Structure 1
Amino acid sequence: MQNKQVWLLVLMGLITACSSTDEKEKVAYVEQEPVLLDRSTKDRAKTLTELGLAYYQLEKYQYAQDNLERSLKLDNTNATTYQIFALIKQRSKDPEKAQYYFDKALKLAPDDFDILTAYAVFLYEQGRHDEALPLLNRIVNAPFYKKKWVAYSYLGLYDLQNGQQRQAEIKFYKALLADPEYSLALFEMAKIRYAKGDMMSARAYIERYFSVAGNTLDGLEVGIKIETALQTYDLVEQYQLELKRSFPYSDAAANIRSF
C-alpha cells in the first residue's frame, strides 16, 4: 500500500509538471496509461523518460524499461534516457549492457556532469579505478557544477582503500558540505570517527545516517559498536533488537543470539 501511495504521489507530480493553461496540452489517463495529446514528439518522449525514471526509483525496472523504450521510439537523441537504461543494467548486474548504454549517453552528451558522475561510479564499482579516478577528479574540479558529493565520496573511498584515512575524512567532509544528507558520506564519517575514538561525533554521524537511510544492517552494526564503546547499553539493546527483527537471518543476528 505504501509503495502505491508513493507511486501515486510521483505520478501526480508528473501530471502537474505536464499540465498547461493551454487546453490543447492537457494529458488524459486511461487505466494509468498516459495518453499525450497535441504535444511535440520530444516533449512526449521526455515525459516517458521521466516516467521511466520514476519507476526506476521505485525499483520497478520492467515498467521503467517499457517507458524508456517507448521514449526512444519517439526520440533517440535524449542522453538521459540512455543513462537511466545504464543505471538499470548496472543494478541488474549486467555490466556489459550498462557500458553499452553509458557509451550511448556520453556520445550524445559528453560534458553532462550528471552522466559523467554516474559513469564514474559504475567504473569504480567495476574495479576500473584507473578510469574512474580521472573522471571523479574532473567532476570535483568543475567550477560550475554543484552536485559534487558523489564524486568526493568515491574519492574518499579510494583514499580509505589506500590507507589514507585523513584524506578520506576531508573528502567525506566536503561531500557533506555539498549535501548534508548524503548517506554514504555520513556512514563513512561515522566509521572514521569510531576508529579515531571520537565516539560522540561517531554517534552524531550514525544518527544522521539513520535519519536518511533508515536502520540498515551495516548501520545497526556500527551503531552497536559505537554505543558499546560509550557503554550506553540501553541503546545497544535497542539496536540489537532492531537488527534481529529486521535482519533475522543475517550473520550479525546469529552472533547476537550466540551470546
Structure 2
Amino acid sequence: MPHFILILLFILVSGCVSQAPWEKVDYDRQAEAYTNRGMGYLEQGETGRALQDFRKALEVRSAYSEALHGTALALQQQGDFSLAEGYFKQALQARASQTAVRNNYAGFLFSQNRYDDARKQLEEASKDIYYADRILVFVHLGYVAIKLDQPEQATGYFQQALALDANFILAHQTLLELRSKQQAWQQAERHWFFLRDAQVNDQATLKQALIVVQNTGNQKEVRYINGLLSSAN
C-alpha cells in the first residue's frame, strides 16, 4: 500500500538545552535546541513532550519554521488534523523554501485523501533540484498518481525516481507491479532481475515476479521463484 516517507528535520547544535550557557542570550540557538529535542521525542512517539519543546522554541522565536513544522507533525500524530494543517501552513509561510516541510504537508494531505492538493505541494517541492531527498518527492508523486488512477503518470514518476537513484528498491518494486498491470511483461521482468540480484525475496515481490516470468515464458526464473516461495513456506 502506498505510504509517505516522513522526513524529520534536525538542526545540528551542541550542548544541553537545560544548561547551555547561551540559553538566555542566543535565541536562535535556543530555538534550534528545543526543536531538536522535540524532534527526538517525536521520533520516539512522545508527542506530548515534543509539543512542550516546540512551544518553548516558539516562545523565543514565534515564527521559527522548524518548530512550527514539528508542532504540525505532533498534532497530526495525535489526530488533531485541523490544527495540524494550520501549523503546516504557518511553517511554509515562515519559510516557503523548506522543501521537507512541503513534502510532509503533502503527506498529511494524502492521508486525508486530498490527492490533488497533495500533488500541488509535491510539484512545487520537485522544483528544488538541490533537495537531498528529492527522490522521495517523485516517489510520493507516483503514489498520488496511483490513487488518482493514473498509472502512466505514476510510471513516469517512479522512473524519475530511478533516474536519481538507479538502485532505489522501492521504485523497482512499484514499477514491477505497475508494468505487470500494464502487461508490459518484458519491462516488468527487468525490474524483477534487479530485485533478484539485490536479494529482495519478500512474498509480495516473489508472487508478482512469478506472474511476470510466467508471461515472458522464462521457465528458469519460474523454477527459481517457485523454489524461493516453497522454501519460505
Q: 1:53 to 1:133 in 2, by over 3 A?
A: same
* Alignment of 1:222 onto 2:204: yes
Question: Which whole-Å CA distance do the structure 2 matches of 1:143 and 1:221 have between them?
Answer: 36
The letter for the 1-side match of 2:207 is K
- Structure 2 counterpart of 1:80, from 66, 74, 87: 66
Question: Which whole-Å CA distance do the structure 2 matches of 1:96 and 1:207 have between them?
Answer: 45
Task: Name the residue aligned to 1:18.
Answer: 13
Task: Name the residue aligned to 2:50.
Answer: 64
TM-align CA RMSD? 3.3
Comparing both structures, which one devotes a greater share of its residues to helix? Answer: 1
Question: Which whole-Å CA distance do the structure 2 matches of 1:116 and 1:101 have between them?
Answer: 12
Q: CA deviation at 1:225?
A: 0.9
Task: Name the residue aligned to 2:21.
Answer: 37
Task: Name the residue aligned to 1:5.
Answer: none
Residue pair 2:203, 2:229 contacting (<8 A) in 1 also: no
Higher relative contact order (CA 8 A, sep 6+): 2
Runs of 5+ in structure 2 lacking a partner?
1-9, 212-221
Task: Name the residue aligned to 1:235.
Answer: 228
Question: Which whole-Å CA distance do the structure 1 matches of 2:18 and 2:70 have between them?
Answer: 20
Question: Which whole-Å CA distance do the structure 2 matches of 1:181 and 1:56 have between them?
Answer: 30
Question: Which whole-Å CA distance do the structure 1 matches of 2:148 and 2:210 have between them?
Answer: 28
Residue pair 2:13, 2:32 contacting (<8 A) in 1 also: no
Q: 1:206 to 1:69 in 2, by over 3 A?
A: farther
What is the TM-score normalised by the length of structure 1? 0.65
- Structure 1 counterpart of 2:192, from 181, 202, 206: 202
SS at match of 1:35: coil
Residue pair 1:48, 1:70 contacting (<8 A) in 2 also: yes
The letter for the 2-side match of 1:153 is V
Q: 1:182 to 1:108 in 2, by over 3 A?
A: farther
Task: Name the residue aligned to 2:5.
Answer: none
Cα shift readout 1:88-113 (whole Å, capped 9, x = no counterpart): 22233331121121122122123322
Task: Name the residue aligned to 1:138.
Answer: 124
The letter for the 2-side match of 1:135 is Q
Residue pair 1:140, 1:151 contacting (<8 A) in 2 also: yes
The letter for the 2-side match of 1:38 is W
Q: 1:181 to 1:76 in 2, by over 3 A?
A: farther
**Equivalent residue runs for 1:101-116 within 5 Å:** 101-116=87-102
